[in-house]
Structure formats: structure tokens, C-alpha cells
Chain A
């Protein structure tokens, strides 16, 4: 049974701080990793995808992947109240299936 785990939160950070979201996965053959943001009542929206070990930066977002440790993280710099949402980690293993974690609820306090 493939599993993706995340801290459910809520994770609270002050405005302007760095928010750090973590995700671990159980399947060593996983190859593709995704972070989605989901606002309450809305559908998931892709923020970042990462396929290789190391860091990938896009604006205020940085994804970090360590396949040896089976760990992927998302850093949000200069957090804004509009970043308050649930962040879903998803993993794909070269098939068509994507396994989602339970999500971490982030609250950015003004």
C-alpha cells in the first residue's frame, strides 16, 4: 500500500515568515512529486512539480526533494495571508496513479 504522509496542522506562521511544509512517501520507485494548494471549497491548484533531487524555485516557492530519504518539502517565503490554504502533496510512480497525502492546513496570521 503506497502511502504519502503529511502533518495535518494547522501550521500557523506570521505574515512575512517562511512556512515549511513536509511530506514523506513510502514507495521508493516514486518518480514525480507535486504540491497543490487548495482553498476551502475549491479544487486543488498545482503550485510546483519536482522530479530530481535538490531544490526547485518558483517565485516565493521552493520545493526540495530527497529521494534517498523519501522526503519532499515546500518552502513558502514571505508568507502572505492569501497563502492560507490546505497544501496537498502528491506522488506519481510512472503509472497513471497519483497518491495524495492528507494535506497540511496553513494559516498565515496578519
Chain B
């Protein structure tokens, strides 16, 4: 089945120790997103890729970086995690249609990150 896969599902890291989260998709969607979701809050968009074009949200801290080496894979790098970065990190994909707009977003299962 076509899907969005995230690894690892759970990650514990120490304050300041870099961490990388990965996302892969078999949907062949041209848009990939990274969201941060803290407890009892809505998903907060960090950035997204439209093909190779990187789009950063204005309030995303510089501590968060992303890479998309090819259509299928996207990585979230947190260079120096702080305690406040403990959250669920969600990857999502969508297909942006040339006729206008993105189709439905599909989410991966998420990575639960704990910073100690």
C-alpha cells in the first residue's frame, strides 16, 4: 500500500544533542511537510518542500533544518534540541495540482521526540 513512513517512531535525546528524523513516501507526491505538534495543540507547520523548493515558515527556529534529497525522502534535523522541542513530529505529503492547489494531505504515523 502507498503510504507515508516515519522513522524512528520514538526518539529520546539529550539536551543539545543533534537528532535527525526521517520521512519517506510511496505516494509520489511533490509536496512534503514537517509539522510539530505539542500536547493538546494543533499541528504547527515548520516548513515544506514543493518539489525541491524549500519553504520555511517565518517563526520556525533556525535550530530546525530540513533536507529533501529526492522525491521520496525528507529529513528533519534538529541541531541543538532544547527541552521545549519535546513534541510529536509529523510528516505529511500532498500532490500539488497544476490546475491549482494541493490535494489532500496524508500524514505519517509521527515521531515522538523527548528531549531530556
Contact = CB atoms under 8 A, between A and B. Distances in A.
B107 A45 contact: yes
B41 A96 contact: no
Given A96-B96, A97-B45, A43 B109 contact: yes
Interface stretch (A14-22, A55-63, A69-77, A87-95): A87-95
Contacts of A95: 101-102
Contacts of A100: 42-43
B110 interface: yes
B55 to A, nearest CB: 7
Interface of B: 31, 33, 41-43, 45, 48, 50, 55, 88, 90, 94, 96, 100-102, 104-110, 112
Nearest to A89: B42
B24 to A, nearest CB: 15
Interface residues of A, number: 24
Judged by DSSP, the binding face of A is loop
B107 A43 contact: yes
Judged by DSSP, the binding face of B is strand
Given A92-B101, A100-B42, 7 more contacts: A34-B105, A43-B108, A43-B110, A46-B106, A49-B104, A96-B55, A97-B48
Contacts, number: 56
Given A43-B109, A97-B45, A92 B102 contact: yes
Given A43-B108, A46-B106, A94 B43 contact: no
Contacts of A49: 104
Interface in A21-61: 31-32, 34, 36, 41-46, 49
Contacts of A43: 88, 90, 107-110
Given A100-B42, A102-B41, A102-B42, A44 B107 contact: yes
A95 B55 CA distance: 12
